[in-house]
Amino acid sequence: MPCLRENLYFLNRTMKKPKKRTIDKNSPEWVPADKKNSVEFTTNIMPGVSSTTADLKSSHNQKISIRRQVKKRPALYVDDYVNGILTRERSILARAITLIESNSWQHQSQAQEILTKLMPYTGNSIRIGITGVPGAGKSSFIEAFGLYLLEQGHRVAVLAIDPSSAISGGSILGDKTRMEKLGTHPNAFIRPSPASGALGGVARKTRETLLVCEASGFDVVLVETVGVGQSEITVRSLVDFFLLLQIAGGGDELQGIKKGVMEIADALVVNKADGDNKAKAEVAKQGFATALHYMMPHTNGWQTRAFTCSAVTGEGIANVWRVIEKFKGITTANNVFAERRRSQARQWMRAIVEDYLQSLFYKDENIQKILPQLENAVMAGKIPATTAAQQLVDAFEKQREK
């Protein structure tokens, strides 16, 4: 036993005890002590927040104080909006359009007052609707066309209608990012709007937005639609000139006729006529020209023709504008231009009334009670749709009479 004790005592004396490490509060503990200031280890630890109740209350009060210091945008009155739009203040123009697009009845009431005061300053632009088959390069064409118009001294507004999701109602609103050069020009204004399920992708408030842009001094307003086929006829009620973009190899003549869009177009332009695709574009133009030859022109006194252009090289862009100027000159002389706008105003008014009555009908409490039963009966084949519709109308009229 004494021998064992002596051995243990000897071992304890000969073993080197580890040196006590000094902890650097600003460096992780895994950093070697001799490399504290080395560029190999540049990681530092920031001191944490104290968890005491007093400190937490102080931090919370400080955040509230910061939030209170953030200035909110001042509320604008009707005259503020009107004056800002007429003096071409882009921020107020954007806020006015947001007001118009709002579904709040307070905002709608204020928007109508603004529009009423702006009406004398509207109508001084050429309204151009642009649609096309998927992949036709609508955004690229609009940017090239818009930049050309800016060079000619015009002020250009682009109302780019984005398709809304049928499931979520969401919209990408990416047209502004696809028109970088046009979007940053001081004399251009791009407003992407969700289609919100409206026919042909034309946003519910596009008409009012168009009028506000005119009052703000934009003499060319381009309306880019979703481009989904026959429903694009809706855009015809918004614009003076309707332009259809096509591409080579996008379908034969009969397919274009089936879509019905060619029948309402004032000009057909085959885009992407550049490089190896230029010859194909010329062939496609001839094919579309043949198809147009057998169609009745949509505008009295005007013959719809086919053209080619390239949004990449700019070739043919100036010619498109010359065609539009010629169209305006001819239709102004024969009074078709003014008559079309009067007819559009009447159609817009009736459309608003129809939307209001439809909303009033389906919001009626009595209709909401009996509608599911009648819908199920129609789907089950128990009663005709006409009978169910008549019962709904009768119930609505009785409710109105009370």
Characterise 304 by phi-psi region: left (phi > 0), alpha (psi -120 to 50), beta (else). beta
Q: Is 286 strand, coil or helix?
A: helix
Question: How confident is residue 258, by pLDDT bands cut at 50, 70 and 90?
Answer: very low
> For position 54, what pLDDT does the model report?
58
- Which of 29-43, 66-80, 153-167, 310-324 shows the lowest mean pLDDT across its residues? 29-43
Rounded CA-CA distance 202/195 in Å is 6
Q: Could you tell me the pTM of the whole model?
A: 0.75
Residue-wise pLDDT tens digits, 74-107: 789 999 999 999 999 999 999 999 998 887 888 9
Amino acid making up residue 27: S
Strands 241-246, 156-162: pairing is unpaired
Report pLDDT digits (tens) over 195-225.
555 544 455 688 899 999 999 999 999 998 8
pLDDT in tens, 273-287: 999 999 999 999 999
Domains of the chain, each with CATH number or no CATH: 72-121 (1.20.5.170), 124-339 (3.40.50.300), 347-401 (1.10.287)
Pairing of strands 156-162, 267-270: unpaired
Written as six digits, the tokens of 197 are 């399920």
Tell me the pLDDT tens digit for each residue of 345-388.
998 888 888 888 998 999 999 999 999 999 999 999 999 999 99
58 CB-side CA count, 13 A: 7
The average confidence (pLDDT) of the chain is 81
Q: What is the pLDDT of residues 168-190, one digit of tens each?
A: 344 444 555 678 889 899 999 99
**pLDDT for 254 beyond 50:** no
| Average pLDDT, integer, range 135-153 | 93
CA distance 337 to 339: 6
- Contacts of residue 348, defined as CB under 8 A and 6 or more positions apart, other chains included, come to 207, 237
